[in-house]
Amino acid sequence: MTQMLRRADEVRIKKTVYLEANFDADDYYIKEFKKQFWKLDKRNRHIAINGGELGNRNKTTGGQFSVDVERFLNYELSEKQIQKHPAIMILNKGRKALVKGTVTVTTTHAAGQSFGAFNNTGITLVHTGTCNDGVGKAMSGGVIVVCSPGGGCPSERGNSLIGNFALFGAAGGKLYVVGQAGDRFGVRNSGAVAVVEGVGDFCAEYMTNGSIVNLGAYGKGFGNGMSGGTAYQYDPTGKITNNCSQDSVKVMSLTSDDEFIAGQKQALLVHLEEHFVRTGSVKAAKILANWQDEIKNFHLIMPKALYNFHSAEEIIVRCSRKQMLEELSVFIAETSLKKLKQAYESKQPLFDGQLPSYGERDTELIFAYIHNTAILHKAMVQATKNTNLQVNSYAKNLIITLDRKLVEQLIKDAKEALKECSDEELSILLADKRVTDYKRSLYLREVSDTQALGTTVWIISRSRINSKALAGQETLTKRLARYYINILNEFIAKNAKKG
């Protein structure tokens, strides 16, 4: 013990050697990119860059390059240059990005940490060799391909090509690895697609969107904390059913013929075929050659959170009547008021200017007009309480500013309109509302380069289930109109007596 606690001799290094991060590769990529960029035309839209050999000092290779390309496209070009160039596309919110497949950078040897971090749309990185931790970290688009340089051990876990936490926080793009990955593959993935041939512990941990296909071995905690996206595990033994995170995910067979499973099988097939095209993977080739038999060895891994949140059967168990009424009422009040606000600000008529035909009765269009008339009436009543002058302008301002008191009144009205609904009806309405919210949230993302087909299949499946269930009950628009027509009738009758 005395020897262990004795004062250690101080060792001084006269000539320290530091392995400093080196970003020369990215500096070269952007120079070469700009040199070739202006030579592109409609017949030649591809830029090829030989990135040479990488070493451990080459950190975040491709990351600085992607940021530089983003800056170049969005801040250094004129509108005229953007409109005329064949390799630039404009996304739905005005952001400029490269057309898919515009640039390919090829590299070899051992890449340092975070290879392909922040990879962007239109950029393809093809690396033959190994990569350290963090491959594709926070990538938003493009493609990363990591191929084996040959050699290695023939055992199941003998071909590790990339390190831990690949795709950490990725929002889009694709990653194809012809070999194994380390732990926490796809952790916090929120939109990227990946095909890999072996993973360590905690694959798909805290994943919120995207798709992961694993063709090889896996460790403990698969899907731990997973709340969105889909994963597909090749496992002839079927042990994944018990070896995944029991709290977070459910494992499903891909052998049934129902619509949802058929869609997931098609999504899996698309990902496998692209993996083979991009890499020439021997494993993928064998599976595709015997697809009808091999599909039995795949298991679909779905997050329980999606079922809990989007399924009426789960919602009715997990939510009280009060919670369902509150969420639906807030949704109805806020979305209705926002539509009127948008009509005022855009100076466009509601419902695209559609008007009921003469003699038309009890249609969704008429119900919608009654609902919106009632909202205007509520705004006018509140405006009258606050001023006797310019009431119309005051009411309009309440709508445009989404006035808190007006919203609270509309929430109370919605609760009254829904109070006759059964719990089952409320759960179906809420499931439909949440799936609609989910679709809209994905649409609003400024990431166009996400091909998470499993998520698309989920949305289509749940939308059809909800639509079928809603077909058997009174529409929400009709419920609101039925409630508000009484209020409007009372107002009209009261004012008629005054007249």
DSSP symbols for 194-218: EEES---SSTTTT--EEEEEE-S--
CB-based contact 177:208 (threshold 8 Å): no
Those residues with Cβ within 8 angstroms of residue 342's Cβ, 6 or more apart along the chain or in another chain: 348
Helix/strand/coil percentages in the chain, nearest 5: 45, 15, 40
3-state secondary structure of 111: strand
pLDDT of residue 6: 77
Nearest to 224 by CA among 272, 189, 260: 189
Angle at 119 between CA 181 and CA 72, to 5 degrees: 165
* pLDDT computed for residue 444 by the predictor: 86
Contacts made by residues 237-241, CB under 8 angstroms, sequence distance 24+? 238/299, 240/299, 240/301, 241/299
**What pLDDT is attached to residue 404?**
96
* Of the candidates 186, 440, 171, 217, the residue with the CA atom closest to the CA atom of residue 303: 186
Rg of the chain on CA atoms, in Å: 29
H-run or E-run covering 279:
helix 259-279
Ramachandran angles phi, psi of 263, nearest 5°: -65, -40
* Per-position b or e across 333-361, b if 16+ CB within 10 A of its CB: beebbebbbeeeeeeeeeeeeeeeeeeee
| Spans of all domains in the chain | 24-310, 317-498
The span from the CA of 216 to the CA of 199, in Å, is 7
Gap between the Cα atoms of 264 and 259, Å rounded = 9
| 230/249 Cα distance (integer angstroms) | 10
CATH class given for the domain over 24-310: mainly beta
Q: Say what the pLDDT of residue 159 is.
A: 77
Q: What is the residue whose two structure tokens read 């999606």?
A: 306
Cα 300 from Cα 185, distance rounded (Å): 17
Gap between the Cα atoms of 231 and 8, Å rounded? 52
Tokens of 347: 């100076």
Q: Cβ(103)–Cβ(65) under 8 Å?
A: no
Spatial CB neighbours of 130, under 8 Å, sequence gap ≥ 6: 109, 110, 111, 149, 160, 161, 162
Q: Is the Cα torsion angle 381, 383, 386, 390 positive or negative in sign?
A: negative
By CB neighbour count within 10 A (0-12 exposed, 13-18 middle, 19+ buried), where does 124 fall?
buried
- Per-block mean pLDDT, blocks of 10 residues, the chain (499 long): 74 81 96 96 93 96 98 97 96 92 97 97 97 97 95 72 97 97 97 97 98 97 98 97 96 94 98 98 97 98 98 97 98 96 93 89 94 95 84 93 96 97 97 96 84 96 96 93 93 77
